[in-house]
Structure 1
Amino acid sequence: MIERYHLPALMASTAVHVAACVDSELARAQMTARRVGAALACSSHRDLPGNVDAAIVAVPNEDHADVAAELLRAGVHVLVEKPMAVDVVECDRMMAAASSTGTVLAVGHDFRHFPIATFARHLFAAGALGPVRAVDVRQTAGTRWPACSPRALMPAAGGGVLLSFGIHLLDLMSWWFGDLHPVRYSDDAAGGVEADCSCDCVLSNGAPVHLELSRRRTLRDTFVVRCERGTIELGLYEPAIVHLTLPSGGCRLAGFVPDAAFTRAPMQTVFRRQLSDFIDAIHEQRKPLVGATEGRRAVELVQACYRLRRSLRQPWDFPEAYGVPATASRSHAG
């Protein structure tokens, strides 16, 4: 994450200078510091206060709160990768640290910086299609983000595909539609972390929302939002699409959101915009696009889903795993 997206964004910015690189392996921090011209390379974030004004925290999920809170208490502004933390208690600790020093705490929900996400925000806020009647989201969450360690696959990470990827989608839908209320959730965690999950929520107006995520299967990778005056299908990236169908079903428009910079370099553009928003929030003493309140809300939604957890039934599972007698299952199948 740092190597592929955050560092290129930092190096392209005229508003910041990379002053320090931190890695638990000092040799790796030193190598990166030489490459980007940073004066300081260290193995602990505790060496940063006094040497930097702001920091990007991209450590394992379970370390977000400790690292970010210490930096915030020391007066260092923080952009922390999503999820903000593994639970709302840790989020609250981070928020208290930022409040105590007046520092900016931004959360890396970079999906909000995708052109189609911004377009959707304005579209739904304007009410152009009328009230939302139903939402269906199917998203592959495969190998686009290669891991450097197995820690993201361990229970200490706080969760699997819902926490690491689905949290982006929950944040987007909260941004677009307002409050979400989870009512059903199932996954294949089985004591570990989930690779597949299914979640049902309702919006404040009672409209149903269905979300399906998978690390193992290829899904549609779009949002389908049925509204009173039409249905719109949105793909943020791969595919980046906008399809509008009128209620009669006889007229369908297909297009995209023009954005030259995003077309040339999609992910690099998204991370540059996220960094610019963070830096501007510091200079202008304002909230970033995704601040602590929004980051906490997304974590709270994930926790609410996990509290509803039931086993996701797989075709190869024995019926007894779900409390269904084998004879009853065979009778039903017949």
Structure 2
Amino acid sequence: MMSVLNTAVIGVGHLGRHHARVYSSLPGCRLIGVVDPDAERAAEIAAKHGAETFATHRDLIGQVDAVSIAAPTSNHHEIALDMLGAGVHVLVEKPITKTLAEADELVTAAGERGLKLAVGHIERFNPAVVAAVKHITNPRFIEADRISPFSFRSVDISVVHDLMIHDIDLLLHFVDSDVAEVQALGVGVLTTSEDIANARLVFENGCIAYAKASRVSMKQLRKIRLFQRDAYLSMDFVKKEAVLFRKSPDFDPSKVDIASMASGGIAELTKLVFSKFLTREVLPMDEEDQLEAELGDFVDAIRDDHPPAVTGAHGRRALATAERIVAAIAAHSWE
């Protein structure tokens, strides 16, 4: 086992600069370098964390054990393949690649060389998800909403690959079944690809999930509501809160006299339901930073030789579902 893991970050823009920050302080890690086409930005981040700047990602070969790739999606495949070919463990930001063929190449390359290939689906490490997943048994219906104002980032990909893919990964993680059917609709508002999209996923086990994503909203909302037998889970990724509602053992509709509640109306009925028939529990959760948890998991996977929480195969699976959604959008007729 290596004593110190030498790491580097390729692409230190909006996301990559935070990867550099975390690597520089993660126990057992040393941030040795950063790569970015913006030389001034690279120098700034490197100086801040006591690292060096490298002109290209290939200049890192022979210097590093592991890298994070936070470059534009169109560059993921080339960079990751070069690093894996040189024996370097790779964490690549989502989506894993532009195409499924590229993703397959990366998964194969990592497997053949016994290297770790992780994908940055960071919501897996959201405290709300970590707390809620322990209570998910057999979901039957799920609603996912992810909307935000236009950020002027990731305009080279659709909102499906940019934002919705977070929830696609979570839906696939929560539901232990393949997707049998996809229906979707999307519209480009400010870019040439979809800026708002809605998808309906039907899983082979019968579960149905609705996912909505928008990057042209006036507000930010990131929630998932999951329904299963005798329970309902609400996850708020912005507030980092998860609430579990369960049916009380005392639930018996035959013992409720609705007629006697006429004067109180909905308010009285709601009070009765939530006081006697449903239990509400705000799930306890850790306050660990999501990115620290994600990179910590990646480093542990390398050190202890086990798969990372989000593998290349998981990233490929999310991309495949995103591609099906985009294809369904393209097949829609507006005539």
TM-score (norm 2): 0.80
Tell me the amino acid that sits aligned with residue 92 of structure 1.
D
SS in 1 for 2:173: helix
Secondary structure, aligned partner of 2:62: coil
Supply the distance in 1 between the matched residues of 2:231 and 2:160 (Cα, whole angstroms).
Answer: 29
3-state DSSP class of the match of 1:202? strand
- 1: CA distance between counterparts of 2:65 and 2:326? 36
Q: Does 1:140 align with 2:176?
A: no
Q: d(CA) in 2 for partners of 1:220 and 1:45?
A: 36
Aligned residue among 96, 110, 116 for 2:108: 96
Q: Does 1:21 align with 2:45?
A: no
Residues 1:136 and 1:28: Cα distance change in structure 2 (over 3 Å): closer
Is the 2:127–2:240 contact (alpha carbons within 8 Å) kept by the matching residues of 1?
Answer: no
State how far apart, in whole Å, the 2-side matches of 1:220 and 1:78 are: 31
Take 1:181 and 1:239, find their aligned partners in 2: how far apart are those partners? 31
Q: Does 1:271 align with 2:291?
A: yes
> What's the Cα RMSD here?
2.4
SS in 1 for 2:326: helix
Aligned partner of 1:187 in structure 2 is: 186
Alignment of 1:66-145 (within 5 A): 66-124=78-136, 127=137, 131-142=138-149
- What SS does the aligned partner of 1:274 have? helix
Q: Is the 8 A contact 1:141 1:165 kept in 2?
A: no
**Preserved CA contact (<8 Å) 1:182 1:305:** no
Q: Deviations over 1:186-212 (max 9, x none)?
A: 100388221110000112221221111
Asked if 2 retains the 8 angstrom alpha-carbon contact of 1:22 and 1:42, the reply is yes
Instruction: State yes or no: 1:261 paired with 2:298.
Output: no
What is the CA-CA distance between 1:123 and the residue it aligns to?
1.2
Structure with max Cα Rg = 2
Contact 1:186 1:311 in 2 (8 A): no
Matches within 5 A, 1:158-173: 159-173=157-171
Residues 100 and 319 of structure 2 are in contact (CA less than 8 Å); yes or no, is this contact kept in structure 1? yes
User: Take 2:232 and 2:66, find their aligned partners in 1: how far apart are those partners?
Assistant: 43
Q: Is the 8 A contact 2:139 2:174 kept in 1?
A: no
> Paired residue for 1:227?
228
> Does structure 2 conserve the Cα–Cα contact (< 8 Å) formed by 1:29 and 1:43?
no
* Structure-2 residue corresponding to 1:10: 23
For 2:47, the equivalent position in structure 1 comes to 34
Q: Distance in 2 between matches of 1:100 and 1:29?
A: 32
CA contact (8 A) 2:119 2:310 kept: yes
Partner in structure 1 of residue 303 of structure 2: 283
Residue 37 to residue 76, structure 1, CA distance change in 2 (3 Å): same
Q: How many pairs does the alignment contain? A: 294
AA aligned to 1:187 is: G
Residue 10 of structure 1 deviates from its aligned partner by: 1.3
- What does the per-residue CA deviation read over 1:63-103, in whole Å, with 9 as the maximum and x for residues that have no partner? 10110111000111111101101121010111122123221
Quote the offset at 1:25 in angstroms: 2.5
- Aligned residue number for residue 46 of structure 1: 58
2:175 aligns to what?
Answer: 177
Q: 1:138 to 1:32 in 2, by over 3 A?
A: closer
Rate the CA distance shift 1:105–1:216 in 2: closer, same or farther, 3 A: same
- Give distance in 2, aligned partners of 1:91 and 1:292: 8
- Matched to 1:79, the amino acid is L
Change beyond 3 A, Cα 1:21–1:4:
closer
Question: Is 2:128–2:240's contact at 8 Å kept on the other side of the alignment?
Answer: no
CA distance in 1 between counterparts of 2:112 and 2:331 reads 42
1:239 Cα deviation from its structure 2 partner: 5.6
CA contact (8 A) 1:182 1:199 kept: no
The superposition leaves residues 292-315 of structure 1 with CA deviations (integer Å, 9 ceiling, x where unpaired) of 110100000001111111588xxx
Quickly say closer, same or farther: Cα 1:213–1:311, change in 2 above 3 A. Answer: farther
